[in-house]
Structure formats: C-alpha cells, structure tokens
Structure 1
C-alpha cells in the first residue's frame, strides 16, 4: 500500500512506485497536479488508473510490466506527455488514444502482442523514438514509411522476412532489425546505424564506399583547380 501521507505532498514532481505490488492506485493521485514523472512499472495493474489521466503536467510515464490490455480514451488528456513506456504488457492493438498525443516523442511498446499499426500513425508528428521489439509483426508496417521524423526504430524480435527501401526516412539514425528472418540488412540512408544480422559487414562496406567517394571527389577538385600564376 502507498502511504496516505504521500498524497498531501501536492508539490511533488516525481513519484516512483515501481515494483510495489500495486493492483490499484488511489484516486488521491490526481491531487498531485504538479507531477511530471510517474513510474508505475513492474506492478499488477490490469488497467490504467483513472487518476493518472487527470495529471495535466505529466511528461514521463512508465507503465511497463503490468497486465494492461489497452489504454482508456481519457488517456488522450495527457497532452504534456513526452515519454511513455508501456513495454511488457498485453496490448494486441495499438491504443487509439495515443494518436491524440502529437507531442509524444518516445514510445516504448516492446514485448506486447501488436501485429499492425494504424494508418493514422503519422498524426504523431512529434514521435522520434519507437520501440516495437518482441511483438508479432509478420511484415514491415508500411505506415512507418510515412514517419518522416522518426530517428530510432526498434523492430527486433519480430517475424519480418523482408524490409522495404528505407532510404526515404531522412531523419532515421538507428534501426534495429535483429532476430527477424531477414536474409540481408535493410537498405537505409548512409547516416543510419544498423543493429542486426549482417549489419556490421554492411556498415563496413558502406564506410569503404563513402571514403572512396570522398577521395575521388577530392582528386577531382584538385584536377579542376585553376593553376596559380607565379608571374611578377
């Protein structure tokens, strides 16, 4: 149980209740209106406590390793939310409420039961990091090709046999595709770090190619340079 005197600390900004064996959270949580970080991971919550949705300044929320199967519609009220970790739950469908959180930057959905993503995902224009490892994707979700601002994408431990050309994702900097039945690394931009089978060889070959191109360009610039006159 959470000590009742905790709810009297209404100026509290961070609250960590991880691995506390909680099955529910008192409604008094909503009185902590200045809360910006809330950790409820590693508990026994079967649904998101209603009071959580009444915290207007909440920016970081950790709900991983509970028994959640979805998020309530009221979750969309968390308009200040920037980081949500909800890994290790039982989500079979992408929570629709998340589509109404355009400022969310980091979304951790690993180790759930997802097999598809909604076509409206690009509404989440602020999203920079998306972790989808350990789900049930059998193909690369095509909607991800429209996530122009995504920087980190983790699809480790799924069932994806092939990847489309990802060079159009100009903001992408890290892609993890390890433990998928792919035969070769995905085709990505030159700035992207890869994690997966064959990634090291792919990046080494890319580095050699880029260095060769750079040498060639330098040589061409030297050839095209106008001769310097040494006349008096």
Structure 2
C-alpha cells in the first residue's frame, strides 16, 4: 500500500516524533492500520507493543523510585500505562492524521477516538521492535515517557500534574482547563514551548516555558493547582 502525499508527510512526522526512522515503512503503515481498513491491520502488533510498553515503564519506575514497594510501583505504572495517557500522547504526536481507517470509522471520528489512538501507539512500539529490535523500541518508549515519569508525584498516587488539576476541578464542578501553545521557537533539542493554562470561568491563566509542549503543560498545571488549592482548599483524604 503506497500512501498518498498527505499520508506520506504524516508518516514522516510520526517517525520524527518517535525518534526512529523505519527501514521498512510497511511496518509503520500496518501499525497505523485499523481493522476497519484492512485485514492486514495492527491488532497483532498491539499484543507485542503492550508487553514492550509495560516492561519499559516498569523498568523506568524501578530505576526512578528505588524505595517504593511492588504494589506502589504497580499503581504508578497503572497511571502511566492506560488508554487515556496513550491517547493523549498520540494526540500530541498528531497520530490521527496518519491513521488508515475504514469509511465508517472516518465518518464517525475514529481518527480522534481514544481506543483507536491508544492501540496505534502500542502497535507502533511493536513495529519499531520488528524493524530494529527490542532495544530500539525501549528507547522510543523511554523518550516519549521520560517527561511523564519525571512529573509523577507519588503523594498524588502517581498522577501527574495535569491529572491532579483535572480531577480537582471536576470535584469542584468547574470546567476542565484549556492548554494553548502561545509561542514556539527552535527545533529538535533547541525547541522551546511557551504554554498557557486557562481555568476559564475561574479567571486564572498562567504560562510556563519548557523544551517540550507536554513539559510546559505540566508546569502550568502545577502552578494552576497551587492557585486552586489556595482559593478552594481541598479536603485531604484520611
């Protein structure tokens, strides 16, 4: 299957985001192919990718939190390896633009469906391992999840700053925050992102700058949460 120019460009961007250039682009295409599009799809890839992801995140957490017990590490991993996080990561990478979907899925918005995006992420980890070996796939996972592992706060049951802020706003019955890229400069390792976090009806907006969008979003979420706790002190669970 030869992708059209738009898909070809999307596939190129995906490889840049992964930090891996495929020797066999066919593997990447299959990883991004939903069962609604073709019998040669990503379902079996997901099986392998899920195992690669779980092992790699487990090892990252094992190294990052040497004093935590097995149960505590398991809870941290569960908060990082789930459909919601994978879908969020896929959206950051614009994976939806590169998906190969059947007509029905296209019409129903499958390109932004969390389950489809999460499955594609797992399938891509498998595709990298088939293309260049397990170590290459492990490096891709480490690169993509490094910021999230660093942002984990065990006091909040392993939830990152964005998740903690979202749950706090929901508990207070306020709308979810909106994150916007206000400014972007440079490329690759020299890239800088200025991101804002807008709490809407609460009238609070803060900004932060970092080397990646997700890192900047985490910083703004942390600042917004600190403000929210001062204005609406949250009761601590016993």
TM-score greater than 0.5 by the shorter chain: no
| TM-score, length basis structure 1 | 0.23
Between structure 1 and structure 2, the one with the greater Rg is 1
Pick 1 or 2: higher relative contact order, CA cutoff 8 A, min separation 6.
Answer: 2
Higher percent of residues as helix: 2
